[in-house]
Structure formats: structure tokens, C-alpha cells
Structure 1
Amino acid sequence: MSESAQLDDSDSKKDDVEELVSEANMEMDVDSVFETYDANTDGKIEHSEYVAVHKAEVENGGFSAFVDRLLDDSPELRGQRLWVMFALSVLLVAAMNAYAMVREPELVLIEDLVEHTNEVVSVEGVVISWVEDPYSSGDNRVDIIIEDETGVAELRWYRYGDIPMLGTTVTATGDVIEYEGRIWMQALGGGALSWDDSDTPEALEIGISTIAANPEDYLGQTFTITGYLSKSVNPDSTFTALYLGDHPEYGNSEHQMRLVIHSAPGQWLESGQKVEVTAVVQYEQRELRWSIHTQGPEVRVVRTHDPVPTEIGWSNYESWSYSSNNLVKLVGKISQDNVLSEDETLSVCLINAGDTSAIDGQTKSITGRLSWSNSKGMWCIDVGSNIEAGLGDVLGAEDMLNQIASNPEASLEHSENGTQFNITGVISGSTLMKNDEDTKVIIANAPYPNTLTKFDAYIPLGMLSGWLEDGQEVAATVTVTWNANPPELQLNVVNINLIGNTPAPNTYDLTEGPPEFYDLNKITSITGNLVIIDNQTYLQKEGGEQKIQINVKSNSIYESNSQNEGKTLKWTGRLIEVADDVTLAHIYVLDEADITDENGNGIADDAEDV
């Protein structure tokens, strides 16, 4: 570049700098501005005055003209301006709503919830439990526990909608709340929980014993299970833990599993009631045990089995708390709104009994729900709580055993006078009638565990023969005698009749170990496979080593059909103990055993199910 050109560039740059400096130092001439725009010399510049000066620019149209008309404060344009502003507002709100509808919360893993505090997010997992109104405070709220492969989260859902069954895969949406180190999701109203029909698990029917054999195989799966409840459940109870067994009586249950009900069932569920439950199998790490979890509506009553009220007596008044909230049966004397014991030292109040003045002073059998009244400080029986409840007459000798036991002084007087009593009861323990002398049996007022009273009774030689089975109901005419050794009241049977149905076999599992003394001599059912070891026949646990000797009944159903062979079957016989004179040991044997064939086709019922 030439020297002259360089000089020209430096001169031009100086001119530009001087021009900028002069503009920066230039002061606005206010008077000149007002002379230009204040046409009416009122000291104010109106919008119309400004537009008049720039009329040519406004008439050219475009965005400037649009804004000018929008900002124009002339009366003839105010209506148009308001409509434009209203349209812009509607457009803005619609755009915001559209954005809110299109934007979906981020789907995150449960373990990452801590990173999204105070944000609305979604998680996907399986519903493992839920509780309505967890604090029983009347809140329209449900707490739902959801689990995915990374962890477990709690959704607190207020004004909730439909809740799926346990085991359903759902998508939960809510605010992530963190408080004092605890994290949960919180939602209000519908839409917080979504799932498809395909996400709901199929609840196949399965038995408790099947789960008990290999619970790991059923972990996290949902099934329909039938069984008997171990205690009563209040209709409004939002959380209840109890047991589901395969027999209505605890002592006869072969299997039972912990059952957790996470919401109110809406109806009374009775102790010993048969129910059908749709539940999910879980392992409780805290308690180191297996359990099944369900919700109240998924517990359905099976009406083919009516629960039997627990018989309570005045002699075991201190243990009534074990029957609290259960249906019970009690015999006592009506006294206004109370029921009194025979010696009038104990009493319970009656609820929903109506007017009892017509039966005041009479002895009645009261059936209802037992509960403790804090206001009265005493036990009460609600006789209006169930269709089976009420006040009934004491039929025949229904409570005579308890009366004999509760007043021994009067019973001794009766023994001296030879008074005969008509009693009813059940045989406790299986007994073989002797063929050379009288046979001693035990007669109780009710089967275990509802036994309140039992007596030794002597049946004369020849009155009965064979076995008198445990649990057999009897009606007898007896006299009372006093025995010095041991010192007790005993019964002498004058006449006895077997009533009711034949007692069901006692169930026994080979994994329970050696039988207890009270299991012996009873008709017993054991499931297993027939095996022969050293010319001796055994019944062996399927897949296990436990076995018991078995004497198969001659001409048995098992031997009549080859389809019974090689299968795991239920055998029923008498469980006895045999002494071995050589080894000086005692051996347990299932004697005179055979399989069950209800339809008489020669095939075991178990084999037909295979």
C-alpha cells in the first residue's frame, strides 16, 4: 500500500471518531421537540400529534402501522384495540395450555427420584401394596407402594380414583416431595395412576400347600387362594394382619400363611370364615417370613361354609380377650340389659337386644359379637351384629356340662341323690371300647380349642363296640359321682347315642416330625408315595426323605386299579404306635390305610386330578 493511501485512511478514521464524540456531547433541544410535536401548545405531546408528524410513515402500513393503531388512544379506535388485546390474550393462554398438554412428565427410575425434588415426574413399576386413609383420620387419600427394579416408592394420592389390583404394572405421576430425609410422590385427583388391561396380572387359582412347598417360585406373582381366616376383621379396618389357613380350626390346620389386608373390606370377616383371596406373594425381609398381600375388596366370602361362633364360658372369663370382636356364644341369665353368670358375680352388657323385659330372669343362649366397652368398663355382646346373632333358648342339655362343673357343691348333692342329667358334648381323643370291662372316655363341651369343660366318663361294657372317634358328637344320660383318687367329679353313662356327622380325618404332614401323643389313635390323612424298603412298605414324602410305615388295607381301592400306582396320593388310616420288642423302640404306623374314591370308579380322587 502506498504512503498516500495510508495517510488517507488515518484521516478518515479521525473524522469518524470526531463525529462520534460530537454526537455523544450533543444535547437534546427540548424546546425544538415540543415545537415539532406539540401542535396545540398545551405542554404535552399526544399520540395523535406524533402520528400527524409521521403520517406518511404510518400510511405505508406494515408492523409499525399495526402497533400504532393498537396504541392509538382515540375514542373511535378503542373498541378495535380491546378486541385485538382480547384476541392476543386468548391466543397466549391457548398456547400455554397446548404446551402443558403436549409436555409429558419425564419418566425416571425410582432410584433417581432424589434428583427431581419439587418436580413432576413419572415412574413405572408394580403395585405391591396400598392403604386407604392410613391414619384413619377421614382423609380422602390412599398410599400406594410401587416397586421397580431399582427400588420402592410411595405415592400419596389425594382425591384418588380407581386403584388396580396388587401386582399390576402402573405408571404413577406426581410431585417429588422431600421432607426430613424422606422422599415420596404426591398427587391430587384423577390421572395420577394409569395402566392397561394387559398390565393386570392373571390370578390363577392355587393352594396354600402348593405355595408352601416352594414359595420362591411364586415370589411377586398374583394368585387366587381359598382358605379360612384366623380372626375377625372390622369392615372399616384399613390395615389388618392375620393368617389364612387350610382348616377353620387352628389346631387342625396343616398349612397357614400370613395374610395382610391393605384396605377396608367393607363387611365383617369372621374368624374361621372361608374366603377366596386374590393376593400377591411376597417375602417380608424385616420379619424373615413369607406372606400374601391383598386389598379389602379382593377378599370374597365363600358362602358354602358358615363360621361357628366360639363358645365362651364364665369359668374362663379372664381369657375372653382372645375372642374379642369374634362371634361368640354364651349362656347366662338375662337381667335388664345385662347377662349374669349363675352365681351373679360376673356380667356382660347386651347391645342391640331391644326390649328384654319379657325374658328378664330367664337363662338364655346369647350369640353375638364380643367387644370391650370403654364407657361401661365391661365386656358386651352385640346381638344385632350378625344374622346368626340373637337370644335363644338353651336347648336340652346344651350347657349342662358347664353347669355341673361351675357348681361342684350342688353337683355333689346330685351325686348323693342319684340325679340323672341329659348332656351333649364331643369325645376328646379316639378310644377303643374294651371287651372285658367299662371303658373310660373323655367328654368335652366342645372340640379344642373351644373346650371349656371336660369330664372323665365311664361307658358300661357292651354299650358300644369298636372305636369311638375324636370329635364325635354324643348325647348321653349320665349320673355324677365323686372319685377320691384322683379327686374329681366323674360321669357314669346310663345311655349314650352318637349324633352328628362322622368327624373328618386329622391331617398330618410328614415334615412335621414325630407325631405328638394327642395325634395317636386318630383317623389320619397323610399324603405321600408308596415305597418298599427291605420288604417293608412305607409312605414317603414326595421329594423328601421323611417316611412312615403303612399297613395297606386288604382288598384296598389302591390295589384294585393300576392307575393308582406310582402317584402321590392321600392315604387315610389310623395313626398308631407299635412297640418293637427286639429293638425296644416304638414305631409309628398308619394302620388299615386306603385311598379315597368318592365316585366309586376304582381310581383315587387324587389320581383323577393328575
Structure 2
Amino acid sequence: MADVVKGFMDRITNEDPESRGQQLWVMFALSIFLVATLNYYAYVREPDVIEIGSLLEYKNEVVKVEGTLVSWVEDPYSSGDDRLDAIVDDGTGVVEVRWFRPADMPPIGTTVTASGDVIEYDGRVWLQSLGAGAMEWSASDIPDAPVLAIADVAANPQDHEGTVVRLKGYLSKSIGPDATFTSAYLGDHPNYGNSEHQMHVLIRSSTGTWIEAHSKVTVQGILTYQQRDLRWSLSIQGPDILIDRQHEVDTTQLDWAAEATWSYQSGQRVSMAGTLETDGDPWMLSGPGTEQICVLPTDIDRAANDASSLNGTLQSVEGRLLWSTTHHGWCIDANEGTEPSLINPETPVSLMALLSASPQTLLDQPERTYTLSSFVKYTLEPSVEDEEGYVVDAAAYTPGWTTVATTFPGPRTQWLEAGQSIVANVTVAWDDEDMRIRFIVNDYTLGNPPEARTLLWDDGATQWGYARDQAAKLNGRAAQIDGEWHLVRPGSNDTIRLNPTSSTVGVDELHADYALTWQGRLRQMESADGLSMEFVLDQAAVSDMDGDGLADGLEEAIGTSPSAEDSDDDGINDRTELENANG
């Protein structure tokens, strides 16, 4: 074999002029073959898997990196490009993968392998990938993230730093379908004023659909500490947000007198009542004074107006509140993912909306009775006399909510809870003394009371004052001090006076050493010396779901079931077994 190669090389390297042309053709063909072979090898060879920290050593080469998918955004510049930018972290560094003609993406936190050309330009380095096979992962690479409560993360965020976290909560703002980057908050209550915790979230990549403010969602992402803003943030992807469609999102009623607060509802679904003017472009809605807001109707609304003119009629409209650069002001747009039309003829105008749009119309008919559907603003205790209170158009505080003074009839034997829904037959009167409109309640029906408010020891007296007279929960150990029951903060000397109910199980010797969650009514009462006021958890009790005489919190602590009187089915209930064990 060596002789054959030697003979071939001698023939193409000899200097005989008669064979020189043949030699050139052979050398040309050989060079073509070598180049083709090298190109084929470069095409079919498997790229090397390298560390991200050493990418610069492979500039203009095709490589693979393996790491955790931190975030991604589709069409980052909203230019219509079929492109996706992803961030991958392998522990040695972080790289941006610019993926053209991409495929579906896995959840955040998945271990992925990305391949592409190493590009360095103007000091920036990224991987440029093309086609569906540029990013790979398997089912075993997808993280199994348990669903946590926001309170779990808030207690010890450091324990979850850099890990994949799945949370349920309520979004603080509406998210547009084309927004590629949104900063928002995830709360543990749909109303900001009732939320005990707020998690900052960074939403990357467009959702493709409107997600309403206060929607109940499940999100998954990586928890990181933002040093610049001194806060913890959860990075999530818009398309991965799961929306609970069973949770109904309330429509905010805009108040004509609170235009300064309208910006808080920007992008949200809102309703408003007023006199509709359809003879111009755009349509306008007028309030009780000179106030106006433009409304953008759907084709259905225009057809209804053509069939029977709506001009000059009192209407309640619904749409999305958006700032219009064309009309230089706020507009209620019915074309942006809200109801099919601006005006729903099957929905009557509510009394609160009528009052906002045309209060004089109501005052001109003092004998007329209206049906009011609203919420109690402040807690009212039982009374034998008529008592003044307030009703509002939302269960909890929202900027610009409408408050109306109301007289409730006596005698009443039940509490009216703050945030409790109420349906009442009322008349509308003018209060000369306070110079305002007042609802006079003839009779009413109450909805279910809201859940008891959870108090935190660290909140202190100022925050607790907002829960005065409301049903409240507080965790602590019941103990007698100077002949009076107190609730003692675990690991501290902080206490609050406790008035337990006569039937509660939480004050006997079996519960003496355990911190339990007590529920009662937070009252402010005069102290024993008469010189100050103090908080008291009145008519307090602990939960005992199975009725076995052991508090649910105690059963969880000792390992028995709170929902079964006899956890081990041995014929002896759990309390008796605990008493026998304690001798």
C-alpha cells in the first residue's frame, strides 16, 4: 500500500513538462475532495458540549451547552420575527440563545441542551440557533415543583433561592396579549387591601390573550433576589400562566368624581353609567356635571344604535379602560377582549351606577323603592335602634370606590360584617344635616360573611386597628395571667387578652402547652385600670372539626386526624387515648 501511495505522489510531483497539465487537474480534483470531506465532517459531527464560561474559546464554532432554562421571550422586539430568546445557566455562566424558527418551550427550570453558533459582536456573546432541533430535553429533565403558598415563601425566601417555585395567587394588574415584559405582583387575596403577602413577578413573553387583574392563577418560575431593587422576584413565562376560570373577576365601577384614580384601573375591565352621546365620533359618555369619557363601541353596538337610536339615553357601558393617544384621554374600549358589546340590554343599570350618573333623577322620586346590591363598608354590631352605616360598590378597598351613607333598621340580632354582600330594598333621601344623599333600608338579605382576617403579631396596633370589630384569627398559646385568659405569642412575652367561649376546647390541660389558631372578634375595650384601651380577642374559640374534644392544631401536632374522631379505628376516640397516654 505504501508503494502505491509513493508511486502516486511521484507521478503528480515529477517535473516532466509533458505530464504537467494532467498533474494540475489531479491536484485540483484532490483539493475539491478534501474540502468536501472536511465540510461533510463539519456538518455531520456532533458538536462538543462545553461549559458556558468558556464560550469565547469557541467563537464562530457550533457547540452545545447544557444548563437550566432560566427565562425566555418570544419575538422580543414585537417586530413579527419568528424568533425566541432564551437564557440558559449551567453554573459556570449564563448565555442567551437566539433561536430562529423555534419549537415549543418547556417550563422554566427544565434542564435543556442548546446547540448553535457562538457569536461575539461588540463585546456581547450569544448562541445563534436555527430550527426545531436546536434545543433538546426529555420528560425527566422537567422539574417537579410542588405548589406552595406565598406565605411559605415569605417565611424563608432564602430556602427557595435559585429553585423552581410554583405558586397560586391573584395578579395585581391586567396583562395585555402582546406584552413581552410585565412587572406585577402576585397576592394571596384578590383585593390588595386584604392581601397579607405580595410576591413580585417578572412576566416575560406575550400571553396571547388578556389576563384580567385579580385573576386567580398558578405560576411557575425561579426565585431570585434583585439586588438593585432590594426585593425577591419570581421570573415566569406569560404562556405558562394557568388561569382558574372558576374564579370570577369583578368589574370595577368607575366614579365620575374620582378621575384622578382612573389610572389605577388602566387596562382593566370597567363599567360606568352616564348619558350616552352617539352623534359624533367617538361616542361619548357624560356624567352628572361636565365630565365626559370617550367610548369605543363594537359593530354590534353600532348596529343597535342604527336600529334604535341610543343617543341621549342613560346607559351603563362596559369595556377596557385604555389611554387613547388619538383622542388624548381615557376611553372605554369594548373591542379589547371584554364582553361582546359595549351595552348589554339584558343587564339593568345598577342603583349605584344610576346614583353616579344622575343623582337628581333619584332625588326627584323620593317615594320610589329600589333594589340595592352592594357591600357593607364597616362592621356594625347588633342594635335595637336604627343605625347609620355605609355601603360600597366593592367588597374591599379599590381606588375610587363609591361610598353611600345608609340607615339600617333596628332591632338587629346579627352582625353586619365589613365586606359582606347585602341585597336591600331602599329609598333614596337627601340628608339635610350632613348635606348628602342617604339610602334608607326597608328590609335586606345578607350574603355569607367573609373569611376571618388573619392577624400577624408583627403588624402591631396600627395595622390591627383596621381589623377592629371584625372576625379575626391569631396564633398563640392560651394562658391565665393574673386570673385572666391571655393569648401569648410563641417564643415571646407579647400577649393579648382573650375571652374564650364557654364551649371551646382550647383552654384545658391537654392544650396548655400548644400554640393554636384562635378565631374570635377583635375588640377594643377599656383596660382594667380604666386608663387605656386594649385589644381583646372576644368570643374566641379553636377549630375542632371532628368534635372529639381536641383542637385541629393539636391533632396535627400529635399526628392524629383532625377530621376523624377515632383516627386509628380502634374504638377509642383520640381525646381518650391522649388522656390515657398522659396518665
What's the TM-score once normalised by structure 1's chain length? 0.76
- Please give the alpha-carbon distance, in whole angstroms, between the structure 2 residues aligned to 1:421 and 1:331: 17
Match of 1:582 in 2: 529
Identity, in percent, stands at: 34
Q: Work out the CA distance in 2 between the residues paired with 1:607 and 1:472.
A: 31
Partner of 1:233: 175
Residues 484/345 of structure 1: CA separation in 2 closer, same or farther (3 Å cut): closer
Q: Please say if 1:203 is aligned against 2:145.
A: yes
Residue in 2 that maps onto 1:164: 106
Matches within 5 A, 1:144-543: 144-180=86-122, 182-190=123-131, 191-336=133-278, 338-343=283-288, 345-354=291-300, 355-357=303-305, 358=308, 360-361=310-311, 362-386=313-337, 388=339, 390=341, 391-393=343-345, 399-404=350-355, 421-435=370-384, 437-450=385-398, 452-462=401-411, 464-483=412-431, 485-493=433-441, 495-514=442-461, 515-530=463-478, 536-540=484-488
Contact 2:272/2:353 (<8 A) preserved: no
Closer, same or farther: CA 528–597 of 1 in aligned 2, 3 Å: same
Deviation at 1:471, TM superposition (A): 1.8
CA distance in 1, matches of 2:518, 2:17: 102
Q: What is the CA-CA distance between 1:547 and the residue it aligns to? A: 4.7
In 2, Cα distance between equivalents of 1:535 and 1:560: 15
Change (3 A) 1:377 1:482: same
Tell me the SS of whatever aligns to 2:212: coil
Say whether the 8 Å CA contact 1:240–1:262 is kept in structure 2.
yes
Structure 2 residue 573 is the aligned partner of structure 1 residue 573 = no
3-state SS of 2:458 partner: helix
1:94 to 26, 34, 37: 37
How far did residue 272 of structure 1 move?
0.9
Q: What letter matches 1:445 in structure 2? A: D
1:591 aligns with one of 516, 538, 557: 538
Which amino acid in 1 is paired with 2:41? A
The separation in 1 between residues aligned to 2:550 and 2:206, in whole angstroms, is 45
Gaps of 5+ in 2: 1-5, 558-583
For residue 166 of structure 1, give the secondary structure of its aligned residue in structure 2.
coil
Higher gyration radius (CA): 1
CA distance 1:177–1:196, shift in 2 (3 Å): same
In structure 2, distance between residues paired with 1:204 and 1:284: 23
C-alpha distance 63-329 of structure 1, shift in aligned 2 (>3 A): same
| Counterpart residue number, 1:552 | 500
Per-residue CA distance 1:269-288 (angstroms, 9 max, x = gap): 11111111122211111111
Residues 477 and 512 in structure 2, CA contact (< 8 A), matched pair in contact too: no
Deviates more, 1:219-228 or 1:139-148: 139-148
Distance 1:371 1:237 in 2: 14
Mapping of residues 45-124 of structure 1, within 5 Å: 62-63=7-8, 89=32, 93-98=36-41, 101-102=44-45, 104-105=47-48, 107-110=50-53, 112-114=54-56, 117-124=59-66
Structure 1 alignment gaps of length 5 or more: 1-60
Query: CA offset at residue 429 of structure 1?
Result: 0.7
- Determine if contact 1:511/1:546 at 8 Å carries over to the other structure: no
Does the CA contact (< 8 Å) of 1:365 and 1:394 recur in 2? no
**Residue 499 and residue 356 in structure 1: after superposition, are their counterparts in 2 closer, same or farther (change >3 A)?**
farther
Separation in structure 2 between the aligned mates of residue 561 and residue 147 of structure 1, nearest angstrom:
55
Displacement after TM superposition at 1:302 (Å): 1.3
Letter in 2 for 1:188: S
State how far apart, in whole Å, the 1-side matches of 2:356 and 2:39 are.
84
Task: State the one-letter code of the partner of 1:513.
Answer: G
Cα deviation code 1:496-535 (max 9, x no counterpart): 2124333332333222222343320011233445455565
> 1:365 and 1:582 mapped to 2: Cα distance?
56
Paired amino acid for 1:429 = Y
CA drift at 1:150:
4.1
Give 1:305 shift. 0.8
Letter in 1 for 2:379: S
Residue 217 of structure 1: CA displacement?
0.5
What residue identity is the alignment partner of 2:298?
Answer: N
- Size of the alignment, in residue pairs? 539
* 1:102-134 per-position Cα deviation (integer Å, ceiling 9, x unaligned): 463462342x44555555555443322222222
Closer/same/farther in 2, CA of residues 565 and 167 from structure 1, 3 Å limit? farther
Deviation per residue, 1:383-429 (Å, 9 max, x gap)? 35457554235866x633454466566666656xx665543322111
What CA RMSD, in Å, does the superposition of the two structures yield over aligned residues?
3.9
Rounded Cα–Cα distance in structure 2 between residues aligned with 1:523 and 1:603: 22
**Deviation per residue, 1:31-72 (Å, 9 max, x gap):** xxxxxxxxxxxxxxxxxxxxxxxxxxxxxx943797599x99
- Partner SS state of residue 210, structure 1: helix
Specify the alignment match of 1:58 in structure 2: none
Residue 342 of structure 1 and its aligned partner are, at CA, apart by: 4.4
Gap change, CA 1:213 and 1:146, over 3 Å in 2: same
Whole-angstrom distance in 2 between the partners of 1:459 and 1:137: 59
Conservation of the 8 A alpha-carbon contact between 1:412 and 1:482:
yes
Give the conservation status (yes or no) of the 8 Å contact 1:431–1:467.
yes
Contact kept? 1:364, 1:392, Cα under 8 Å? no
For residue 43 of structure 1, what is the aligned residue in structure 2?
A: none
- Offset from partner CA, 1:457-492 (integer Å, 9 cap, x none): 233442x23322112223334445554554434344
- Alpha-carbon distance between aligned partners in 1 of 2:8 and 2:355, rounded to the nearest angstrom: 110
Letter of the structure 2 residue corresponding to residue 472 of structure 1: Q
Task: Give the corresponding residue for 2:560.
Answer: none
- Scaled by the length of structure 2, the TM-score of the pair is 0.79
Q: Does the CA contact (< 8 Å) of 1:472 and 1:498 recur in 2?
A: no
Structure 1 residues 351 and 292: CA distance shift in structure 2, 3 A? same
- Structure 1 window deviating more from structure 2 (144-153 vs 514-523): it is 144-153
For residues 333 and 551 of structure 1, do their structure 2 counterparts lie closer, same or farther at Cα, with a shift above 3 Å needed? same
Which shows bigger deviation, 313-322 or 424-433?
313-322
Query: Per the alignment, in what secondary structure is the counterpart of residue 466 of structure 2?
Result: helix
Aligned counterparts of 1:122 and 1:544: Cα–Cα separation in 2: 55
The whole-number CA distance in structure 2 between the counterparts of 1:598 and 1:329 is 42
